[in-house]
Amino acid sequence: MATFFGEVVVAPSRAGVDDEETAEETPEDREIRKELEKKREVDVVWTWKTASGSAEEESFVCSKFIVAIGHNAAAFLSSFILDSVCWEVVGVVKLWNEWCRTSTTTNVLPTDSFCLFYRLISDPTVLLCQCSCYVAEDQQFQWLEKVFGCMRKEGLQVTVLSTCPVADYKTQESTLTLQSPFLKALKTKEFKERICCPLLEQPNIVRDLPAA
């Protein structure tokens, strides 16, 4: 249980099975479960090449990583940042779940079915991510582990852009009087720079992949 606002807590998970469930599981059930788990694995593919001609495998330096999660945030990046020749597509996340069916093709194209990575040509340490596809709850840790596992953490600044309905915003004011859209921020204690908007008030929270 959270004892104060802003504490990060681990939600109960049904990822594991107890002894009773294991005892009742047939070999066919286990095979089906393993196949589903394999199908729901998150796959990160980087498209740039090293001097030897192979795909980059070692962790790379990243100074700024901007992640836009959801259709509105991804559209904001497309309209105001990516609408130029300054960026190149360098990677993609492929995944499969109830609401997302990504293709197995190796040809990376901007599409809602993909979670795409862009690199600033003038500064290759600056990366953007457009994640407009749905990432299921059981896939969020995989997404984080595999994406950030490719990056060196020293000096890395991460900015997450996401949206939610005004109706979900908790305030004593009437939501009818609120200017829409409006911008709020959350930050870690390590972030020392000036923020461009007011902080998100209690008891509002962030959910899903942005929270992760």
DSSP state of 96: B
Alpha-carbon distance of 24 to 77, in angstroms, equals 49
Expressed as residue numbers, the domain containing 149 is: 37-161
Tell me whether residue 209 is in a domain: no
> In the prediction, which pLDDT does 117 show?
92
Tell me whether residue 182 is in a domain: no
Q: How many residues does the chain have?
A: 212
Tell me whether residue 31 is in a domain: no
Tell me whether residue 84 is in a domain: yes
Burial classification of residue 93, based on how many CB atoms lie within 10 Å of its CB (0-12 exposed, 13-18 middle, 19 or more buried): buried
Tell me whether residue 47 is in a domain: yes
- Which pLDDT tens digit goes with each residue over 92-123? 888 877 777 665 544 545 444 578 899 999 99
Low-confidence ranges of the chain (pLDDT < 50): 1-4, 50-55, 105-106, 108, 110-112
Tell me whether residue 96 is in a domain: yes
- Which pLDDT tens digit goes with each residue over 19-48? 555 557 888 777 777 777 777 888 888 887
> In the prediction, which pLDDT does 134 show?
86
Tell me whether residue 71 is in a domain: yes
Q: List Cα–Cα distances, 23 to 12, 20, 32, 37, 139, in angstroms.
A: 22, 5, 16, 19, 26
Tell me whether residue 194 is in a domain: no
pTM of the model: 0.74
> In the prediction, which pLDDT does 53 show?
47
Look at the chain and report how many structural domains it folds into: 1
